[in-house]
Structure 1
Amino acid sequence: MFGRKNMHDEYAKIVREIDEGERREPQHNRPTETKSKWGSVDPIDQYVFDEFSWLGATIDRWTDDSWSLEETNDTNRRASYLDSPEYGRRWIIYYNKLGLGWLEVSATPEHILGTLDEFKVKPSARIDMSLDFMRFIPSEDAFGMLYNPAFLMQSTEAGYDAARERAKLIAESTMTHYMWDVMRAGEGYVPDLEFSVSGPWSVFSETVSHWKKSGFDPRTEMSE
């Protein structure tokens, strides 16, 4: 009777916001440039920074309406790797009015000291996400938030059907691993979901190119 609350009682307010809340309109504070704590910015990092200015709005448009991505001018990355920069574009992720975590994107060049021209021949970037409370998010909405970034990062060399299948496998694998973490945690705690995907971003690049040719800007569309 006086024991510890069960998981859904303990997180009742969060579950209620997920199930009954209303979408939060993003309040963007978009950065105008990359900012490095070392001073100058590598041309490859600046190129990727510019290339992905529509990423948040694209994911926002393709996912369930409950999701929203709010860009921040904080360009200091939270995911840290020895062979990658410490800065890039970042977004705060909301489900309704509940802040769940963040998404960031940065360059992952094959050669650290390579030139921009070399990078453009074989481009590669990485999306990292960290999300809280995903245990309580509806499965189809969770899948969409994983599948769409994975799909956007895919190559189109073998066609879009192959790109979709690869993205589907990435999303499903991530959900399976997360559910294992949830089962291990039991009633003890709610594990975070960590997600990463790398690729040449051909799907995203071709989507943006098509939109620009047609005069469509997803950032303007999402703010209306």
Structure 2
Amino acid sequence: MIKRAALWTAIIAAGLIGYAAKHAYGMSDQAIYLAVTAIGLVIVSFHFDRRVAALEERVIHKDYSGIKVAIQDGERHKPQHEPPKSLIDGGAVQSFITAAHEVLFEDFRWFGAVLNQHVAEAWAIEELNDTDVRGIEGPEVGRRYQVYYNACKMGTMQVTVGGHEWIFRPEAFAENRQAQVEIDLNYLRFVPFDAAESLISSIVLFIAPFGDDGEEARSKAASVAAAALTGHLWESVRTPDIDTSFAFRTGGPYELLRHTTDHWKANGIDPLEKWGGDRSWGNEEA
């Protein structure tokens, strides 16, 4: 309000000066009009430039100091899983639930714990009590997770049924299981590349086909992660005035996840009870 008053004061002052000059020097009305208009345009232009500069300062030069401290020096968040007891318990709509959703829900019971065992130490995957997730065309059914890097809440991840065959034959899903994982992260450009790669490649590794050659599967997962992170870096550099988020999606038969959880079940291990769904080291020995 004060700045607007100052602007109008300056314009009125320019008009009074022009009026005085007209009588003092016998200038024509047209010359006075043009002079006052020019002065007014200069004042308005100066005011507009200051407003644009202030806006750019807020948009382009956002203060990320607190985010960086939480990422680089913050204490690692210890996951506090709240796994839903059932799809209904997590808020899923009864009419959306099929046999395929029930199979997937059970198969991914320990997905957060599996990832916490394999990602870089600063990451923490925490399951939420939420099974009413978002899909491409509307509400879906699955599992949701909060993702942390040290003390910074980075974003979310969700798991839903993959493929399309299950839509028409959900009872046959157990014979050809497919999952889709989507992860959305903020501030990823402040995370070291090796740490970012460990998260994305681990997700791909446990979801993609694994086969008989573990080294080949790991190499493919690393390549997929590197390509996704390179694309994110490109967009971050191309549009530095936009706080670009990282969105990644992958799907597959999650063979390695099933192998890992079957191994735990065969050995009587519940990672949520034994390690709190976190890393096995620093807790109780495996």
Same fold (TM over 0.5): yes
Is the CA contact 1:61–1:222 (under 8 Å) kept in the aligned structure 2? Answer: no
Question: Structure 2, unaligned stretches of length 5 or more?
Answer: 1-52, 277-282
Q: Deviations over 1:101-130 (max 9, x none)?
A: 1111111143111132x2222211111100
> Compared with structure 1, are the counterparts of its residues 67 and 38 closer, same or farther at alpha carbon in structure 2 (3 Å cutoff)?
same
Per-residue deviation, 1:50: 0.9
Aligned position for 1:115:
170
Q: What letter is aligned with 1:31? A: P
Question: Structure 1, unaligned stretches of length 5 or more?
Answer: none
2:203 to 128, 136, 149: 149
Per-residue deviation, 1:60: 1.1
Alignment of 1:75-224 (within 5 A): 75-78=131-134, 80-82=135-137, 86-111=140-165, 112-116=167-171, 118-186=172-240, 188-223=241-276, 224=283
Q: Deviations over 1:154-209 (max 9, x none)?
A: 223342222212211210111011011111121x1321100111000001111111
Aligned position for 1:20:
73
Distance in 1 between residues matched to 2:188 and 2:152, nearest whole Å: 11
Is the CA contact 2:118–2:202 (under 8 Å) kept in the aligned structure 1? Answer: yes
Is the CA contact 1:109–1:119 (under 8 Å) kept in the aligned structure 2? Answer: no
Distance in 1 between residues matched to 2:68 and 2:84, nearest whole Å: 33
Identify the range of structure 1 (212-221 vs 3-12) with the bigger mean alpha-carbon deviation: 3-12
- Identity of counterpart residues, as a percentage? 26
Is the CA contact 2:103–2:174 (under 8 Å) kept in the aligned structure 1? Answer: no
Look at both structures and tell me which one has the larger radius of gyration over its CA atoms: 2
Q: Of the two structures, which has the highest relative contact order with CA contacts closer than 8 Å and spacing of 6 or more? A: 1
Aligned position for 1:64:
120
Question: Secondary structure of the equivalent of 1:89?
Answer: strand
Q: What letter is aligned with 1:121? A: E
Q: From the two aligned structures, give the one with the greater helix fraction.
A: 2
Distance in 2 between residues matched to 1:194 and 1:113, nearest whole Å: 29
TM-score of the two chains, using structure 1 as the length reference: 0.89
TM-score of the two chains, using structure 2 as the length reference: 0.71
Per-residue deviation, 1:94: 0.9
Matched residue count: 219
Aligned position for 2:86:
33
Q: Report the RMSD for the aligned CA atoms in angstroms.
A: 2.2
Question: Secondary structure of the equivalent of 2:164?
Answer: coil
Aligned position for 2:101:
45
